[in-house]
């Protein structure tokens, strides 16, 4: 879906312009760079944006601190995932560079185990909190992307000429064309209707 034509750029904060139509965290993540076909609008503007996005995506329970280095690392991961998306859409293998980027972050998807004493005095193995929550979030995104590329035939880009949204087609017939039937789908229907009206003799 288009952003407003007169939106002041670059954005000061990105949260108002996130959208959640992709059906997978990895693709919602690639969609944080809006209008890839045109203005390439960054919505992960600052570390606070990334931290809030990871919570909104339900990958983390609380907003983590995010350094500039981790923000840049996240953007690098995002573009590596998108390179795999573009290759998949073209019927090509996921690039080696994408696999390397995923492999670099994948170990952080796993939380370490630790011991705790139970109320009755016993001992239990539990998952510890990650030492670097934001990096753990990137690991979860890498894992989701790796699983997604195992079903690459379901990856789509919106059929609208003015939308670059990526999404994962979970429809039974794998025939979904639009990022949103209420958004781009309805816009395209309206365009076709106007074209037919112009072509119809008065």
The pLDDT tens digits along the chain (202 residues) read 678 999 999 999 999 999 999 999 999 999 999 999 899 999 999 999 999 999 999 999 999 999 999 999 999 999 999 999 999 999 999 999 999 999 999 999 999 999 999 999 999 999 999 999 999 999 999 999 999 999 999 999 999 888 889 999 999 988 899 998 776 866 666 565 455 656 666 6
Give φ, ψ of 39 to 5 degrees: -90, -15
3-state secondary structure (DSSP) of residue 155: strand
Q: Considering only the C-alpha atoms of the chain, give the largest distance between any 2 of them, rounded to a whole number of Å.
A: 86
Report pLDDT for 188. 64
Cβ atoms of 156 and 163 closer than 8 Å = no
d(CA 67, CA 126): 28
CA nearest to 144, candidates 108, 171, 174: 108
Catalogue all structural domains in the chain, each as residue range(s) with its CATH number. Answer: 15-199 (1.10.3300.10)
- Say if residue 78 is exposed, middle or buried (CB neighbours under 10 Å; 0-12, 13-18, 19+): buried
Q: Which of 144, 145, 43 is nearest to 85 (CA)?
A: 145
pTM: 0.89
Q: Among all chains, which residue has been given the structure tokens 């670099």? A: 104
What pLDDT was estimated at residue 16? 97
């Amino acid at each position: 879906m288009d952003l407003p034509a007169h939106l002041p750029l670059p954005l000061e904060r990105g949260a108002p312009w996130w959208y959640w139509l992709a059906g997978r965290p990895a693709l919602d993540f690639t969609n944080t760079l809006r209008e890839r076909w045109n203005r390439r609008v960054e919505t992960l503007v600052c570390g606070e944006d990334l931290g809030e996005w990871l919570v909104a995506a339900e990958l983390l329970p609380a907003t983590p601190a995010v350094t500039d280095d981790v923000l840049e690392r996240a953007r690098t991961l995002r573009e590596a995932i998108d390179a795999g998306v573009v290759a998949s859409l073209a019927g090509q293998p996921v690039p080696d560079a994408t696999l390397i980027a995923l492999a670099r972050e994948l170990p952080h998807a796993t939380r370490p185990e630790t011991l705790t004493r139970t109320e009755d005095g016993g001992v239990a193995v539990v998952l510890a909190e990650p030492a670097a929550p934001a990096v753990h979030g990137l690991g979860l995104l890498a894992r989701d992307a790796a699983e997604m590329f195992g079903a690459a035939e379901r990856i789509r880009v919106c059929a609208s000429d003015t939308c670059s949204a990526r999404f994962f087609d979970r429809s039974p017939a794998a025939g979904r064309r639009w990022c949103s039937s209420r958004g781009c789908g309805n816009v395209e229907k309206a365009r076709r209707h106007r074209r037919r009206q112009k072509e119809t003799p008065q």
